[in-house]
């Protein structure tokens, strides 16, 4: 089972769902409202074993302890579900739901692409591309000088997708050393699924920006193969 968590307007998640279903895979597309309204979530943290169960309002059950399960998490926010109390009570309950959901996603025994962080539900959200550039430089990628009042001029930009140690380059032209540094970036920020923009300037590849919301379709069918490999093997390579 491939579980996709995200908004119905997320075209990349819809693309992935369609690609998986064309291959006959069992796909569950779960919306934020379905997680919050009429659902039942239970889990226990017991060292290496973390039994859990998510039952949705329509009777579907997400059992992440089953072999062959992968969660692709693209949750941005959760809807505000009104309680019978005051607005303050409603806000409190929704924050509790968010905390429980984040803890559940982080303790699942199956691969999660991407696990929540303290400030977001689906991987780190950097406030500026300058932060990503600093991380890229640390991981050995060439970067341009960054100025807050300028948009960098791009020569030949390319979008790539990193899933664990594998970097998907549709053109097949990015050097192995650059791919290694991109995969290192994903490990550095503990984000197994990362998108990046690389600009080719003469004979040099320059890092431009990164995102935890990559364009799956840019990676094509090999990316779908990699997601299925995660499900079969139960690990992110």
Residues 104 and 176 in one domain: no
pLDDT for 189: 93
Q: How far lies 192's CA from each of 37, 112, 233, in Å?
A: 29, 8, 15
Residues 81 and 157 in one domain: no
Q: Which domain holds residue 8?
A: 2-113
* Overall domain count for the chain: 2
> Quick one: average pLDDT of 116-122?
87
* Beta-strand pair 2-5/27-30: parallel
Q: 118: which residues sit within 8 A by CB, 6+ positions away?
A: none
Residues 21 and 105 in one domain: yes
82-108 b/e (C-beta count within 10 Å ≥ 16 → b) = eeeeeeeeeeebbeebbeebbebbebb
Q: Could you tell me the two tokens for 206?
A: 């320059």
Residues 152 and 93 in one domain: no
What is the percentage of the chain residues whose pLDDT exceeds 90?
55
Cβ atoms of residues 121 and 128 within 8 Å = no
- Residue 186 C-alpha from the chain's centroid: 11
Give the pTM. 0.90
pLDDT tens, position by position, 7-51: 999 999 999 999 999 999 999 999 999 988 888 888 777 766 667
198 pLDDT exceeds 90?
yes
Residues 96 and 139 in one domain: no
pLDDT for 139: 96
Cβ atoms of residues 31 and 7 within 8 Å = yes
1-10, 86-95, 126-135: which is most confident = 1-10
Residues 25 and 76 in one domain: yes
Q: Is residue 181 part of a domain?
A: yes
């Amino acid at each position: 089972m491939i579980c996709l968590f995200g908004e119905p307007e997320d075209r990349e998640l819809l693309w992935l769902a369609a690609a998986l279903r064309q291959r006959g895979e069992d796909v569950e597309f779960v919306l934020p409202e379905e997680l919050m309204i009429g659902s039942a979530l239970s889990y226990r943290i017991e060292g290496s074993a973390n039994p859990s169960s998510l039952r949705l309002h329509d009777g579907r059950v997400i059992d992440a302890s089953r072999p062959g399960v992968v969660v692709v998490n693209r949750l941005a926010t959760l809807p505000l579900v009104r309680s019978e109390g005051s607005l303050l009570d409603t806000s409190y309950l929704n924050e509790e739901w968010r905390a429980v959901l984040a803890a559940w996603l982080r303790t699942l025994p199956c691969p999660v692409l991407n696990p929540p962080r303290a400030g977001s539900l689906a991987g780190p959200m950097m406030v500026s591309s300058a932060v990503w550039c600093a991380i890229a430089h640390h991981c050995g990628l060439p970067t341009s000088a960054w100025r807050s009042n300028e948009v960098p001029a791009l020569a030949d930009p390319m979008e790539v997708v990193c899933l664990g140690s594998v970097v998907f380059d549709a053109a097949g032209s990015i050097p192995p050393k650059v791919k290694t540094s991109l995969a290192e970036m994903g490990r550095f920020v503990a984000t197994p699924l990362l998108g990046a923009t690389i600009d080719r300037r003469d004979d040099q590849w320059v890092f431009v920006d990164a995102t935890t919301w990559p364009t799956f379709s840019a990676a094509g069918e090999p990316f779908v193969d990699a997601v299925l490999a995660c499900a079969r093997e139960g690990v992110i390579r």
